[in-house]
Amino acid sequence: MGVFQPEAETMNRRDLLDLQNERLGILINHAYANVRFYRNQFDAVGLNPDDIKTLEDLKKIPFTTREDLVNNYPYGMFAVPLRDVVRLQFPLSHYGNPIVIGYTREDLKIWRELVARIMFGVGITEHDIIQVAFNYGLFMGAFRFNQGAELIGAAVVPASVAPADVQIRIMRDFKSTVLVSTPSFALHIIETMKKQGIDPRDLSLKIGLFGAEPWPESARDLIEAGLGIKAFDIYGVTELIEPGVSGECTAISGLHIFEDHFFPEIIDPVTGQSLEEGQEGELVLTSLTTTAYPLIRYRTHDRTALCTAPCDCGRTLVRMNRIFHRTDQMISIRGINVFPETIADVLRNFEGIGPAYSLEIKQKYGMNDKLNVFIETSPELLCTAGNVAAFHEKVRTALRKALGLRVELEMVQKEHESKQMRSTRTRINS
Amino acid sequence: MLKIRNIDAGYGKIQILHRTSLHIREGEIVSLIGANGAGKTTLLNVISGLHPLKGGSVMFQNREIQAMPPDRIVGMGLIQVPETDKIFPPLTVLENLEMGAYLRRLDRRALQSEIEKIHALFPILRDRGDRAAGTLSGGERQMLALGRALMGKPRLLMLDEPSLGLAPVIVAEMFGIIQSLNAMGTTILLVEQNAREALQISNRAYVMETGRIVLTGAGVELMSNEEVKRAFLGNDYKEKWER
């Protein structure tokens, strides 16, 4: 299997460390000089940028959190003037607490290359036809597959939100060799194929790249068997780049983090202490080459562990374990990220409901499929029978708008709540 | 080939270089651009062993050289062409060239063959051979300085403002020569204020501001970098604002 940029991806780890240190120095100079937030972060702990000589010193700098990004919305975290920025992206999952991420031309070029690294690393070449079935509207990272593929010379079919039967038809007629989507959608395609009596051997698929939500190994087995492909996991962080932070290789032994651009740390999510290699904790990333929106020690809230042992694919880049859990309450439903705080925000706009609510997540193939929301409702409101249906619809619409996701809504009186929750598998109470 | 880690250096209490790190791979042309006083020359002098460093390390060909005397560093093939006082004005052009090979202790014939090579590269130096170097024009002096450095058989050639004070036609010629030297196998670190030309021929570049490296990237990419345009490529500044 190929390595797209061998000079970077197979660099010996001592040289890599030197490169990271060199880039760290530039990042600190750049961020300290141009972002007041980082200047304040340094000043708050009495740190001078010249104190940061190596990656070891990086630990002296306080973390950057999602709240920091929200507080500095819109342009407070930008390290370049707006006219240097060529793209502005806003993750929809941050609807209630918006953030906006800027990219310079150089930032986009790196991003494109990293996606190409992932693709090339799993065996995608100029001979492939890549069908991207991500929602280009909801998930702006989908465009990066187009550009990564173009860099490799592969053909892209941005099939986007076409329904499963259309996707299958495209696959068959166009002879697509690669499917890129959420794992949930891949399974939905497989179900549809079964209904239509289509054998995976009628298709030309070989490879699948899946991400944007956690998916267990059992789902990988189902997808590989159902589509007759090798399925690979990809990972990104909305606030940095998504996809493109890391990806699985053909050795299937973790996701290689592109350390020449992102420096990973694992911390204890409670104490913030750094953990050793191999220990599981929260992934913290520092962007080493990002110009417009540099993030220093950004808390991803994703749980994983790192391994620097050599990999069979030949890359020397560190590997992270696949991610199944978070250290915050964010949940991913079919690839759409939901922050429970958003739900609380919506409820606050209505009289007679909340503040207590509870979430029930319905799973399918071990992945989150549906979100049911139970909200505490005043008895008076429930008694006015005629209005309840309209009110119910109003709240549901508000939730759908805020979350970018259709939810089932149940309004319950407080005393009934415990009964309703009985069957809940995963739940978050507030 | 060259790896500099966290260099601190200055004059007395005034710190000029702040934890400066950079690297150059064999065969590359890397340029270092920045305004006057950014610390570029100080950095070259530190690398050459001419200026003491307060912290950090300089690795050349996998050996730490920061404690070595300048002549040993030159002997290893790391040769600097300084910005000023490049030549010995009272000596003839030929004598200047011979000085460049002083450390190599060549015999007469070997020396002659090296001089032939330089003459082939810079025919003007053959024509001016007997003249005192002090009588040369600016462009000719620059060629002589470069020729003399080449006599030392550099693996890594560090050029400090080679285009300074030269007429535009000569500048273009000078950058052409630098490219052909590189094509013949010499790795080059180029310090320039003439950013556009330097970036055009560079594989990679570093941008320095007040003793700190603030930006790095591929040469041609940095040419389109807005920050670089504003700071060094004056012309594009206006266009950008107007857009």
Tell me whether residues B221 and A106 touch, CB distance under 8 A. Answer: yes
Q: Give tens-digit pLDDT for A57-76.
A: 999 999 999 999 999 999 99
**Cα angle value A41/A47/A48 (rounded, 5°):** 110
Q: What residues of chain B lie within 8 A of the CB of A32, using their CB?
A: none
What is the DSSP pairing of strand A353-364 with strand A427-429? antiparallel
What distance in Å separates the CA atoms of residue B243 and residue B228, rounded to the nearest whole number? 17
Confidence (pLDDT) at B236: 43
CA B82 to chain centre: 7
B182: Cβ–Cβ under 8 A, 6 or more apart, which residues? B27, B29, B188, B201
Q: What's the angle, vertex CA B39, arms to CA B35 and CA B45, rounded to 5?
A: 130
For A86, the token pair is 């060529």
Mean pLDDT (whole number) for A138-162: 93
Instruction: Calculate the alpha carbon distances from A20 to A258, A286, A306, A308, B57 in Å.
Output: 11, 10, 17, 15, 16
Q: Select from B23, B212, B238 the residue whose CB has the most chain A CBs within 10 Å, as the one to mutate to test that interface.
A: B212
Q: Chain A closest CA to B61's CA: distance in Å?
A: 13
pLDDT, chain A, mean: 91
CB B162 within 8 A of CB B2: no
- pLDDT band for A385, please (50, 70, 90 cuts): low
Task: Show Cβ contacts of residue A173 under 8 Å, excluding neighbours closer than 6 positions.
Answer: none
Contacts of A75 (CB under 8 A, 6+ apart): A82, A100, A102
Q: What is the pLDDT along chain B (243 residues), one digit of tens a residue?
A: 999 999 999 998 899 999 999 999 999 999 999 888 889 999 999 999 999 999 999 999 999 999 899 999 999 999 999 887 678 889 999 999 988 888 888 888 888 999 999 999 888 888 888 888 888 888 888 889 999 999 988 999 999 998 888 888 888 888 999 999 999 999 999 998 888 889 999 999 999 988 999 999 888 888 877 777 776 655 443 433 333
DSSP one-letter string for A73-127: TTTTT-SS-GGGEEEEE--GGGSSS---EEEEHHHHHHHHHHHHHHHHHTT--TT
Name which of B7, B15, B214 to mutate to probe chain A: the one with the most chain A Cβ atoms within 10 A of its Cβ.
B214
Q: Three-class SS string for A282-298?
A: EEEEEECCCCCCCCCCE
Three-state DSSP state, A352: coil
Determine which of A17-21, A350-354, B175-179 has the lowest per-residue pLDDT on average: A350-354
Distance CA A190, CA B219 (A): 48
pLDDT exceeds 90 at position A78: yes
Rounded-to-integer distance, Cα B9 and Cα B55, Å: 7
The identity of residue B28, as a single letter, is E
Angle made by CA atoms A388, A392, A398, in degrees to the nearest 5: 145
Tell me the two tokens of residue A360: 């029930």
Please indicate whether, in this complex, the C-beta atoms of A25 and B21 are within 8 angstroms of each other: yes
- How does pLDDT run across A192-226, given as a tens digit for each residue? 999 999 999 999 999 999 998 999 999 999 999 99
- Record the tokens describing residue B149, joined without a space: 């450095």
Could you say which DSSP state residue A22 is in? H
Query: Which of A16, A22, A56 is best to mutate for the B interface (most B CBs within 10 A)?
Result: A22
* pLDDT attached to residue A342: 85
Q: Contact B226/A83, CB-based, under 8 Å?
A: yes
User: Which chain B residues are Cβ-neighbours of A21 within 8 angstroms?
Assistant: 5-6, 21
Provide the pLDDT for residue B85. Answer: 67
- How would residue A335 be classed by pLDDT, with cut points 50, 70 and 90? confident
Show residues of chain B in contact with A19, CB under 8 Å: 23
More confident of the two residues B201 and A93: B201
pLDDT computed for residue A93 by the predictor: 65
How many Cβ pairs within 8 Å bridge chains A and B? 53
The answer to whether the beta carbons of residues B121 and B150 sit under 8 Å apart is yes
Q: Which domain holds residue B216?
A: 2-242
For residues B133 and A140, what is the distance between their CA atoms, to the nearest angstrom? 64
As to burial, measured by CB atoms within 10 angstroms (0-12 exposed, 13-18 middle, 19+ buried), residue B239 is exposed
**C-alpha–C-alpha distance, residues A50 and A68, integer Å:** 23
Q: CA distances (Å), A87 to each of A82, A160, B3, in order?
A: 10, 21, 35
For A284-333, the pLDDT digits (tens) are 999 999 999 999 999 999 999 999 999 999 999 999 999 999 988 888 89
Q: Which residues of B170-192 are buried (b: 16+ CB within 10 A; e: fewer)?
A: bbebbbebbeebbeeebbbbbbb
Query: Residue A354, Cβ neighbours under 10 Å: how many?
Result: 19
**What is the distance in angstroms between the Cα of A84 and the nearest Cα belonging to chain B?**
6
Averaged pLDDT, A183-192: 95
Determine the pLDDT at residue A91. Answer: 81
Beta-carbon separation of A21 and B217 below 8 A: no
Q: What is the 3-state secondary structure (H, E, C) of chain B?
A: CEEEEEEEEEECCEEEEEEEEEEECCCCEEEEEECCCCCHHHHHHHHHCCCCCCEEEEEECCEECCCCCHHHHHHCCEEEECCCCCCCCCCEHHHHHHHHCHHHCCCHHHHHHHHHHHHHHCHHHHHCCCCEHHHCCHHHHHHHHHHHHHHCCCCEEEEECCCCCCCHHHHHHHHHHHHHHHHCCCEEEEEECCHHHHHHHCCEEEEEECCEEEEEEEHHHHHCCHHHHHHHCHHHHHHHHHC
Element (H, E) at A281: strand A281-287
Cα distance between the two ends of chain B: 42
Q: From the centroid of its chain, how far is CA A16?
A: 26
End-to-end CA distance of chain A: 48
A2-26: b (≥16 Cβ within 10 Å) or e: bbbeeebbebeeeebebbbbbbbbb
The closest alpha carbon to A263, from A291, A234, A293, A284, belongs to: A284
In this complex, is the C-beta atom of B113 within 8 Å of any C-beta atom belonging to chain A? no
Find the CB nearest B5 among A18, A30, A109.
A18
From the list A266, A263, A297, the residue with the least C-alpha distance to A280 is: A266
Structural domain tally of chain B?
Answer: 1
How many Cβ atoms sit within 10 Å of the Cβ of residue A257? Answer: 22
The answer to whether the predicted template modeling score (pTM) of the entire model surpasses 0.90 is: no
Q: Which domains does chain A have, with CATH numbers?
A: 6-328 (3.40.50.12780), 336-429 (3.30.300.30)
Cβ within 8 Å, pair A81-B21: no
More confident residue, A169 or A384: A169
pLDDT of A113 over the 50 cut: yes
Furthest-apart CA atoms within chain B: distance in Å = 63
* Interatomic CA distance for residues A176 and A165, integer angstroms: 14
Yes or no, beta carbons of B226 and A80 under 8 Å apart: yes
Domain with residue B201: its CATH number is 3.40.50.300
Closest-CA residue of A relative to B208 is A26
Cβ neighbors of B169 (< 8 A, separation 6 or more) are none
Mean pLDDT of A34-63: 95
- B120 CB burial (10 A radius; 0-12, 13-18, 19+): exposed
Q: Is B22 on the interface with A (CB under 8 A)?
A: yes
Q: Which of A26, A52, A55, A85 should be substituted to probe chain B, the one whose Cβ sees the most B Cβ atoms within 10 Å? A: A26
Percent of chain A with pLDDT over 70: 94
- With beta carbons less than 8 A apart as the criterion, state whether A253 and A247 touch: no
By the 10 Å C-beta count (0-12 exposed, 13-18 middle, 19+ buried), A296 is classed as buried
Predicted pLDDT at A79: 92
Provide the 10 A C-beta neighbour count for residue A425: 8
Contact call for A106 and B216, based on CB within 8 A: no
pLDDT of residue A175: 97
Residue B235, pLDDT score = 45
**Cα separation, A340 vs A244, whole angstroms:** 26
What span, in angstroms and rounded, lies between the C-alpha atoms of A255 and A123?
15
CB contact under 8 A, B214 and A83: no
At A209 the three-state DSSP class reads: strand
Q: Which residues of B touch A35 (CB under 8 A)?
A: none
| Contact: B226, A84; criterion CB under 8 Å | yes
Q: Any CB–CB contact under 8 A between B26 and chain A?
A: no
Tell me the chain A residues in contact with residue B5 when contact means C-beta distances shorter than 8 Å. 18, 21-22
Interface of A with B (CB under 8 A): 18-19, 21-23, 25-26, 29-30, 33, 50, 52-54, 80-81, 83-84, 104-106, 109, 291
The answer to whether residue B93 neighbours chain A at the CB level (below 8 Å) is no
